Structure 1
């Protein structure tokens, strides 16, 4: 039956309602177009970033686009209680033990690269808190990052793309990049003396990016953290020559003799310390606390191990830990998600592959 009051509804009001109905999906489509970079071809997007990783290392179906070569590990974290005054995260509660699934890897998108080809190792961890929350972190064995922004990182990848004629990066392009980015000086100074280590177990790992702890009193504290190994290589042994895959074998041998341990050290910033620039280290005199001990007691191949389906997105954080204003963090999260979706889609089509979970989870470990 017709509504007797319909004729009293102003035409303009009805037209406005239809406009809202039609405008909402249009606005959503516009937002997706902006995020995807379709409206601005020059805008840096996660897809362009991961495409550049593939241009540099080739496409290896089913593998992460960076840190492709790695191994799964598992263990737990024992809290010392010292960080509980600065963060309400359950993982730092006194006496708390938290299960951990991690991954050691080397940088680059080639899963067959020799372990001694780069001087950097990485550690990625997922802490599964008892309250159902998670803390994921990706760390590297260097004290500073080369660049401070996603755009500069993309430019670095472009400069490092191998020349088809030589199979190696063009030295002139790299020189031009470094000349245009003086902020890389600290990293380059470190890299000049850095050598590939002989073991994942003897390396220390830095968060590089800054984060924010919130304590029980509501106070916020800018922090960075690092893992300091208990195992020390007194001889300073370098990578063994002629052994492209020695890191996994060394890790397996060490674990056969007992668990491996790292101290989690958290450094608190002073006012004025940069939180948005991973190329700048904080002064050595900043207050540092020992938040607890990471214990690794098992390893497993990454194609079947528990780390395989984990996206080590560093912005997946529990209550009490938040991201800082560092622009690398949201960029890492978006790029890792793109990498995760690519490799999981490829794994689903590989012969004999049966995935346990193809849902994105939340990738230094994309």
Structure 2
């Protein structure tokens, strides 16, 4: 069988990018990038303090389900990135839908945000991992702000809910949160994962075949028309997964992967700031999801959806949240996988 020649420089560049990303995440985890400030363990510890430990589950976005499908590239994305995923053709995809929060049994209607995480499995062994939310902007700019938001959101033991006064004080002290809060207020939660659009939120750097570098963001735009969450759905704790199963039983679901290209001066280090609406957008192809399974046994269970794992042609921007996300995801992943291993070991010891 004839095989395509291996691009040694491409492989070396990919390895260098992975090593650099891992080093940045490790340095942030250890606190080297933010001495005397918050680190990834601080953030994960605060999730556990606020909402308890649910062994074997992610510390955030704990409730979810796995999905499988593919990405059908139309080749248009190659105009901004030389990543193999944007060449015409099909790339296998595994992913996960989820809602924010640490409680794997939380009612779906308890939060207004949904998330989509994907792993594009490229033919040469590279991967593109992305974790997206259903809001185009994030609530905070920096890891320290995120930590302070978690502290302000700590449930009051008397009510089981955050203290409104503490949250209000945090918002007043951090006006950067206003665009996120305004967007959520103006956009009622969707009735389905299938009719939800998802955004990368963070900026990334794309490099094309000629070496030109441009800042980009991306989103997945559903072909299923948006509809708001209904009053009846609010009474159903698992309506999102039930709805997805019912829709997939009728056939695959589709989203268009749309890349937004920044202009000089557009912020790349601020996830709270949207880019102007007139920026060039490129429909790079279609994401097709054809099956779903419970996360306890699905292909996404043991995946760390680290957004800094990128193929050659894509790289992290200077957004400080990216290294923080990578580091916090690693701490969460290590803790939950240890918990699963201990549980498996204890169950094995009790077998006759």
State the TM-score, normalized to the length of structure 1: 0.84
Structure 2 partner of 1:340: 333
Of residues 96, 111, 129, the one that matches 1:118 is 111
Q: Does 1:170 align with 2:163?
A: yes
Structure 2 partner of 1:256: 249
Local SS of the residue matching 2:64? strand
Structure 1 partner of 2:307: 314
Instruction: Encode CA deviations 1:243-299: one digit per residue, 9 max, x unaligned.
Output: 101111100000000000000000000000000000000000000000110000000
Instruction: Encode CA deviations 1:63-103: one digit per residue, 9 max, x unaligned.
Output: 00000000000000000100112111000002x21000000
**4+ residue segments displaced more than 4 Å:** 32-35, 351-354
Q: Does 1:202 align with 2:201?
A: no
Query: What is the CA-CA distance between 1:236 and the residue it aligns to?
Result: 3.5
Please report the RMSD computed on the Cα atoms of aligned residues, expressed in angstroms.
2.0
Instruction: Encode CA deviations 1:31-72: one digit per residue, 9 max, x unaligned.
Output: x9995359x994211111001111222110000000000000
CA distance in 1, matches of 2:247, 2:170: 40
Q: Does 1:45 align with 2:26?
A: no
Whether the 8 Å CA contact 2:136–2:199 is kept in 1: the answer is yes
CA distance in 2, matches of 1:353, 1:73: 30
Query: What is the CA-CA distance between 1:158 and the residue it aligns to?
Result: 0.5
Structure 1 partner of 2:228: 236
Structure 1 partner of 2:176: 183
Whether the 8 Å CA contact 2:222–2:255 is kept in 1: the answer is yes
CA distance in 1, matches of 2:221, 2:207: 23
Local SS of the residue matching 2:243? helix
1:9-158 aligned at under 5 Å gives the runs 36-37=30-31, 42-94=36-88, 96-158=89-151
Distance change (3 Å), C-alpha of 1:35 and 1:295: closer
Structure 1 partner of 2:216: 223
Local SS of the residue matching 1:257? coil
Local SS of the residue matching 1:127? strand
Structure number with bigger Rg: 1
Instruction: Encode CA deviations 1:210-229: one digit per residue, 9 max, x unaligned.
Output: 00100001000100000000
Query: What is the CA-CA distance between 1:196 and the residue it aligns to?
Result: 2.7
Instruction: Encode CA deviations 1:181-237: one digit per residue, 9 max, x unaligned.
Output: 01011011112233332210000000000001000010001000000000114x534
Aligned length: 321
Distance change (3 Å), C-alpha of 1:118 and 1:35: closer
Distance change (3 Å), C-alpha of 1:311 and 1:353: farther
Q: Does 1:300 align with 2:283?
A: no
Q: Which has the higher contact order (CA 8 A, sep 6+)?
A: 2
CA distance in 1, matches of 2:315, 2:208: 12
CA distance in 2, matches of 1:203, 1:353: 41
Q: Which residues of structure 2 form unaligned runs of 5+? A: 1-25, 348-352
Whether the 8 Å CA contact 2:130–2:305 is kept in 1: the answer is yes
Local SS of the residue matching 1:198? coil
Local SS of the residue matching 2:60? coil
CA distance in 2, matches of 1:343, 1:104: 18
Q: Which residues of structure 1 form unaligned runs of 5+? A: 1-31, 355-366
Structure 2 partner of 1:7: none
Whether the 8 Å CA contact 1:347–1:353 is kept in 2: the answer is no
Local SS of the residue matching 2:343? coil
State the TM-score, normalized to the length of structure 2: 0.88
Structure 1 partner of 2:239: 246
Distance change (3 Å), C-alpha of 1:218 and 1:33: closer
